[in-house]
Amino acid sequence: MAIPTINKLNVTDEDISNPVICPSCGKTVGMRLFGAEDKSTVGKLFPEKQKMAVAVCPMCAAVYKVADNYYKERKNGTLVYMTEKDLESLERK
């Protein structure tokens, strides 16, 4: 029996970033980028939180939320370079 869920999240692979120093392990790596779009009712009620991007370090597997400005400019085709300031840790506390 299938159980319907209210979570309708579309995740897309957005390629690799420019070399950046991982805040967690301190190594210079190309972060793997993923775009996430919430298509549920909750996402429609809060459109400012509907789209986000995450970056994953290939060395230590740390996961970061990417700054909205960086992701928006990258999606528009602007040449942008990721820095450590564009990464916010998504760690449970």
Q: How does pLDDT run across 1-59, given as a tens digit for each residue? A: 444 555 677 888 989 999 999 999 999 999 999 988 877 765 566 666 677 899 999 99
Q: 56 near 34, Cβ under 8 Å?
A: yes
pLDDT range class, residue 63, cuts 50, 70, 90:
very high
Quote the pTM value.
0.77
E strands of the chain, at which residues?
Answer: 9-21, 28-38, 51-56, 63-66, 87-89
pLDDT for 66 beyond 70: yes
pLDDT of residue 42: 59
Helix (H) or strand (E) holding 77: none
Token pair 């897309």: residue: 12
Q: Spell 19-43 as b/e; 16+ CB within 10 A means b.
A: ebebebeeeebebbbbbeebeeeeb
pLDDT of residue 67: 93
